[in-house]
Each structure stands twice: as structure tokens, then as C-alpha cells.
């Protein structure tokens, strides 16, 4: 702890982190407990489990969570740990069950997590106290969020301020058209840092930079000249202009962080496609294509990018202290039919090629950080969100001292 305190105190404001923050296993263990076990994480969409008994697993490091729809239609989350001797109860990543039965000794739980059968268990044992451990869960406009803490931060303000923008995109009426998992040989912070800045976009992502104005500084003439017509056309497209910021730097005490912002697409581009043309049917309240993209922050490591016809979700999680992963979900209107209303390869093209490029960038970043010659460097003015993330991160580690 003395070493960590010294590292934090020596950290230069608005400079990248010292090497130890990306390599030290003990610091990584503190991060997991302080950040990942206490933050709300996007786990999926309720469309994945439409029927009674439908479930899927959400796995993070040594933890596994069963997300399941009960007989009453409610979605619940249980730790995938049998109350007998700890075996995983569900072994398949998804499925449909009438009851949850442990494959080891057949202890059986109902869809509400209560223990209903345990062979040869003494009559002196109270089965009511042996239900599956619950995991904190909430559903915001169809998006399933989970939190491993017994006393999680509140989602009340996120719900209050993001519900309208989410309804505008019809989040509750979406479905997951595709899901890809990308393994990244780098510390989880590098993946989040990379997502939070577009300083690299023009050089590293020509496919993205061709159409997205965020490659420019927000004060630049190029950005502003694209932004104004996009904003001016919102109303005729059935959309509203929102600007919401309660994320890293502006997080409200006792509340999970969140944010929303919209930026323009260039030229004739109306969505995030290779040719600028529509990819799927319009979603939510949108009546015609608006040339822009909306960013949502849902906690510190879960993000949404919403176009007029689809939504892309990003979730960054650690695997080890020097490996991580990125889960990407592409969502379209629930009634859209693949092959008729959208082509899957066209739909995923931009963010598949961009994420693969990001993977290469981040891995190279980690390789350089591993060098004996690595020293931290100053952030540019275009890395403001990354600065805020690092400041937020260091504040969280200080709380462990």
C-alpha cells in the first residue's frame, strides 16, 4: 500500500500512467475489487430471454452470473454457484430451463432462485436460507445492467436522464443481431483509454474517419460546420437535442456515472455504413435518417453508439492483469428480418474493422509500455475524456489507501 500511495502521489496530472499501473498484479487485484466489483456493467438486452425459463450467463474473471426470466416475467440475476458445495449450476452459456438443477448432486432451484429439492438433506436444515445468491440487476429501457456489489451505487439519475434519449432510439424494442468477442493482449485500462479518445482516429481508422466528424477537435471549423446542419435537422427527423454529462469528471455522488452526446456524420452518410447508405429499418421515434451518431456512457466501461437505424454496444472487461476483452453487440429493431431488412455483414462491417484495428493499436501500446524505456507522457488537448478517466481511476485507488 505504501508503494501504491507513492505511485499515486508521483503521478503527473494529465499525463499517462506510470508503467506499474499497467503491469503490477497487486494493483490489478485492487482494481477488480474497487472498480469492476462496484460498477454497473452492461450484460445484455432483455430480448435475449423473451420466454419464461430463458437464461444466459455473464462471466467476469472468476464470477459467473445466471440472468434468467422467471414465471412472473421478471428478469433476475443469480450467482452461478450451488449452495451445496459450490459447483456451477448452469454449464451452457444460454438455454431454457423449467428449473435450475446443479449437475453435481442435483440440488434444484426454481426460477426465482429458491431451493426446492436437495436429496437426503437433513430435516433440521432450513432450505429457505439456501437459495441461490442474488446479483444486483436492473433493466433500463431493455438494457440489462448488473453489479457485483452488495451495496451498489444508484442508477436513479441515469434512468431519469437517459430514459428519454434511450426511448428516442427505441432501446426497449431492439434485438441483438450480432455479438462478437475480441481478445486483446493488453491491460484493460488501455482498452478503455483508447475508446475514450479520438486523437488516433484520423490516422488509425480511415473507414471511421471518412464519415465521422469526431475525428476533428470539437472547436474546429470542420467539426462545427458538420455539427450545425445535423442539429438543425433533428426535429424533422423526430429527434431531440440532448447534452448530458455525469461521467468520469462530473459523476454525481452515490450515483453511477452516465453521459450522452451527439455528433455529425459527413457528406452523404446517414449511418455507420461503408457506403453511407441505410443499413436497417429506422428505430424508435426516428421518422427519417439524421446524419449523426449518439454516444451513451453507462458506467465506466460500458458504452453505446446509436445511429438512426441501429445501435452498437461496447463492454470492456479484464481477463488477467495484461489481457482483456471487448464485447461488441449490434442491435436493430426487433421486427427486422436478417436477409430482408438488413444484411449482417454490412451491419457489422464498420465496427468490426474498427475494433480489429483498435486491438492492434492497443496491443502495440502494451508492448511499448512493457519496455524498460517507457515513461509516461503528456496527453493532448484532444484527449480530455481520457484525462478524466485517469483522474477518476486514481481517485478510486486512493480510496483503498
In a domain, 144, yes or no: no
In a domain, 146, yes or no: no
Answer yes or no: do 77 and 162 share one domain: no
Answer yes or no: do 173 and 307 share one domain: yes
Residue that is last in its domain, among 138, 172, 205: 138
Answer yes or no: do 251 and 357 share one domain: yes
Length of the chain: 401
Between CA 73 and CA 123 the distance in angstroms is: 32
What pLDDT is recorded for position 184? 98
Answer yes or no: do 106 and 229 share one domain: no
Answer yes or no: do 221 and 256 share one domain: yes
Question: Which portions of the chain are predicted below pLDDT 50?
Answer: none
Parent domain of 305 = 155-398
Answer yes or no: do 308 and 280 share one domain: yes
CA distances 346 to 148, 279, 290, Å, are: 36, 7, 19
Asked if 154 and 296 count as a contact pair (C-beta separation under 8 A), the reply is no
What pLDDT is recorded for position 231? 96
User: How many domains does the structure of the chain reveal?
Assistant: 2
In a domain, 25, yes or no: no
Answer yes or no: do 172 and 318 share one domain: yes
> Which residue in this structure is represented by grid cell 450515483?
255
Cell of 321: 492483469
Residue 54 β-bridge partners: 96
pLDDT tens digits, one per residue of 198-257: 999 999 999 999 999 888 888 888 888 889 999 999 999 999 999 999 999 999 999 999
Answer yes or no: do 84 and 180 share one domain: no
Residue that is last in its domain, among 138, 165, 191: 138
What pLDDT is recorded for position 215? 84
Residue that is last in its domain, among 138, 165, 200: 138
Q: Where are the alpha helices (DSSP H) in 83-179?
A: 156-168
What pLDDT is recorded for position 180? 98
In a domain, 22, yes or no: no
In a domain, 276, yes or no: yes
pLDDT tens digits, one per residue of 65-99: 999 999 999 999 999 999 999 999 999 999 999 99
Answer yes or no: do 55 and 120 share one domain: yes
Answer yes or no: do 237 and 318 share one domain: yes
Answer yes or no: do 128 and 259 share one domain: no
In a domain, 148, yes or no: no
What pLDDT is recorded for position 2? 87
In a domain, 314, yes or no: yes
Between CA 241 and CA 306 the distance in angstroms is: 14
> Most distant CA pair in the chain: distance in Å?
76
What pLDDT is recorded for position 354? 98
In a domain, 126, yes or no: yes
Amino acid at each position: 500500500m505504501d508503494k501504491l500511495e507513492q505511485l499515486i502521489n508521483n503521478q503527473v496530472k494529465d499525463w499517462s500512467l506510470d508503467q506499474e499501473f499497467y503491469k503490477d498484479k497487486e494493483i490489478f487485484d485492487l482494481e477488480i475489487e474497487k472498480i469492476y466489483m462496484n460498477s454497473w456493467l452492461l450484460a445484455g438486452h432483455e430480448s435475449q430471454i423473451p420466454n419464461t425459463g430463458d437464461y444466459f450467463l455473464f462471466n467476469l474473471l472468476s464470477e459467473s452470473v445466471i440472468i434468467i426470466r422467471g414465471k412472473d416475467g421478471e428478469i433476475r440475476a443469480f450467482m452461478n454457484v450451488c449452495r451445496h458445495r459450490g459447483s456451477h449450476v448452469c454449464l451452457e452459456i444460454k438455454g431454457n430451463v423449467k428449473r435450475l438443477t446443479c449437475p453435481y448432486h442435483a440440488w434444484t432451484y426454481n426460477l426465482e432462485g429458491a431451493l426446492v429439492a436437495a436429496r437426503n438433506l437433513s430435516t433440521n436444515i432450513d432450505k429457505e436460507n439456501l437459495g441461490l445468491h442474488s446479483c444486483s440487476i436492473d433493466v433500463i429501457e431493455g438494457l440489462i445492467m448488473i453489479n457485483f456489489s452488495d451495496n451498489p451505487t444508484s442508477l436513479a439519475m441515469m434512468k431519469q436522464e437517459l430514459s428519454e434519449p434511450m426511448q428516442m432510439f427505441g432501446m426497449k424494442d431492439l434485438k441483438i443481431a450480432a455479438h462478437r468477442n475480441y481478445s486483446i493482449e493488453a491491460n484493460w485500462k488501455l482498452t478503455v483509454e483508447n475508446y475514450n479518445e479520438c486523437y488516433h482516429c484520423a490516422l488509425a481508422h480511415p473507414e471511421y474517419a471518412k464519415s465521422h466528424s469526431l475525428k476533428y477537435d470539437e472547436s474546429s471549423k470542420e467539426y462545427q460546420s458538420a455539427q450545425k446542419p445535423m442539429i438543425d435537422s433533428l426535429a424533422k427527423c423526430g429527434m431531440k437535442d440532448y447534452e448530458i454529462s455525469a461521467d468520469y469528471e462530473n459523476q454525481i455522488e452515490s450515483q453511477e456515472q452516465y453521459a450522452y452526446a451527439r455528433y455529425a456524420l459527413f457528406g452523404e452518410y446517414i449511418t455507420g455504413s461503408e457506403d453511407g447508405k441505410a443499413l436497417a429499418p429506422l428505430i424508435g421515434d426516428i421518422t427519417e435518417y439524421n446524419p449523426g451518431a449518439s454516444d451513451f456512457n453507462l458506467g465506466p466501461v460500458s458504452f453505446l453508439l446509436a445511429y438512426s437505424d441501429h445501435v452498437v454496444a461496447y463492454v470492456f472487461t479484464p481477463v488477467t492483469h495484461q489481457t482483456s476483452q471487448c464485447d461488441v453487440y449490434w442491435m436493430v429493431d426487433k421486427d427486422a428480418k436478417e436477409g430482408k431488412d438488413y444484411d449482417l455483414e454490412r451491419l457489422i462491417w464498420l465496427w468490426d474493422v474498427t475494433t480489429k484495428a483498435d486491438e492492434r493499436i492497443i496491443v502495440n501500446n502494451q508492448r511499448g509500455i512493457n519496455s524498460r524505456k517507457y515513461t509516461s507522457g503528456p496527453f493532448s488537448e484532444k484527449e480530455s475524456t481520457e484525462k478524466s478517466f485517469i483522474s477518476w481511476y486514481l481517485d478510486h485507488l486512493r480510496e483503498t489507501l
